[in-house]
Structure 1
Amino acid sequence: MGPLPRTLELFYDVLSPYSWLAFEVLCRYKNIWNVSLQLRPTLIAGIMKDSGNQPPALLPRKALYVKNDVRLLGQYLQVPIHLPKDFFFVIFEKGSLTAMRFLTIVKLEHPELLEKVSRELWMRVWSRDEDITEPQSILAAAEKAGMSTGRARELLERVSTPQVKNQLKETTDAACKYGERKGGS
């Protein structure tokens, strides 16, 4: 019997192409690397706000770099990633709040489907340039991931409940706390 797997937490938002790349690599190699992967849906906007960081797309030189970097990494890692045609509208106007709330409730009630539903949402926004904010879009992703239509509708109706909102906020806060320095140096 080998060593017990190490736990690795992935805090992610389907609005982040880099999160998708990390997600796919970790899912692909978790067994080989003997990792127990804990998927943690999080709001990247909350992390940006907490850190005082600006999204790379708002900084012209970083935006150019990210565009090329994401394309090359997608090719190298064999992830079918393509920037949405109206990148700024998708990222800054539409966002991912409802999608991330939906993933939060999926994690709470159907953790066995979290990986598949997450991947389908990433495929919609980053591979097929499709919506992830409208109820029908989220339902389509859930159904493609293997969730029944009735169950997906039931979960979607509960994305604005205090339980789901609080859980997403707690997870985002936990991600932010990883950035705090320990030991005072």
Structure 2
Amino acid sequence: MDKKITCYLDCTSPYSYHAFSYLQKNAAALADLGVEVEFTPVFLGGINVGSGNKPPWTLPAKAEYAKYDGKRAQEYFGNQFEVPPWFPILSLLPQRALTYVKKSTPKSDYEAAYLACLETMWKRQLDISKPEHLATALRRVFLEGKVQEILTEASNPKIKAELTAVTEKVVKEQGAFGCPWFWVKNAQGQEEPFFGSDRFHYMWRYLGLPFEDIKLKSRI
């Protein structure tokens, strides 16, 4: 495949959840159209610090708007949940764990584990920054021995360094300032960034994919 979407996600971002579920829903169509999709863990806290960005909840106007936008996104993507009272989390543990899972398991298991982490946090309302709750998420995909291996390897200095390096790369080389962040290569070998879970129509146009754009229907 010569077209590729690299999707950088963090479990603490609800819009990462929306983006992941949307791309998974369209995985077969994208593969048929010759588009490779790769999901890559990053640390959103590091992206915010590195780019100078501030989370929406730290700015009163953005926090107020987020109450509306969040519900609209849930309705659009079909992911219904309440924002947990302990949100946001320090997401280093799950992101490191997923970094290891990506290296040590087949693509299908890795993507199933990412979905399990997202659903456990947002739908089941468990704080996956805590080892016992992350283990609950991972058990939906792996046997107990593998779960314990993943939790152990999440503390491996090499895995920690890998997550840090990827996070720094997307900030310094791609200009990332939040999640979900996409780095997209088209058939001509050109590459551009896209940000957010509401820019897929821009992305499809850039990739030259056939799609139905947003259209109004007259009552006439």
TM range (shorter): 0.7 to 0.9
Question: 5+ unaligned residues in a row in structure 1: which ranges?
Answer: 181-185
Shift of 1:67: 2.2
Shift of 1:95: 1.4
Work out the number of aligned pairs and report it: 171
- Give the equivalent residue in structure 2 for 1:183: none
Shift of 1:138: 1.1
What SS class does the counterpart of residue 29 from structure 2 fall into? coil
Task: Please give the TM-score of this superposition, normalised by the length of structure 2.
Answer: 0.73
Could you tell me which of 29, 34, 45 is aligned with 1:32?
Answer: 29
The 1:64–1:140 alpha-carbon spacing in structure 2 relative to 1, beyond 3 Å, is same
Task: Please give the TM-score of this superposition, normalised by the length of structure 1.
Answer: 0.86
Which structure's relative contact order is higher, taking Cα pairs within 8 Å and 6+ residues apart?
Answer: 2
- Give the equivalent residue in structure 2 for 1:117: 113
- Contact 1:67/1:83 (CA < 8 Å) preserved in 2? no
Question: 5+ unaligned residues in a row in structure 2: which ranges?
Answer: 177-220
Root mean square deviation of aligned Cα:
1.5
Supply the AA of the counterpart residue of 2:17.
W
Give every structure 1 segment of 4 or more consecutive aligned residues whose post-TM-superposition deviation is greater than 2 Å: none
- Give the equivalent residue in structure 2 for 1:179: 175
Question: Which has the larger helix fraction?
Answer: 1
- Contact 1:96/1:133 (CA < 8 Å) preserved in 2? yes
Give, in whole Å, the separation in 2 of the partners of 1:81 and 1:37: 26
Identity of aligned residues (%): 29
Shift of 1:31: 2.3
- Give the equivalent residue in structure 1 for 2:7: 10
- Contact 1:83/1:127 (CA < 8 Å) preserved in 2? no
What SS class does the counterpart of residue 155 from structure 1 fall into? helix
Shift of 1:37: 0.9
- Contact 1:14/1:121 (CA < 8 Å) preserved in 2? yes
Give, in whole Å, the separation in 1 of the partners of 2:169 and 2:132: 30
Q: CA offsets per residue over residues 32-85 of structure 1, 9 Å max, x none?
A: 13321111000000100011010001111111212221211111111233211x
Pairing 1:7-86 to 2, within 5 Å after superposition: 7-33=4-30, 34=33, 35-84=35-84, 86=85
- Give the equivalent residue in structure 2 for 1:170: 165
Supply the AA of the counterpart residue of 1:44.
L
Shift of 1:143: 1.0
Shift of 1:133: 1.6
The 1:29–1:5 alpha-carbon spacing in structure 2 relative to 1, beyond 3 Å, is farther
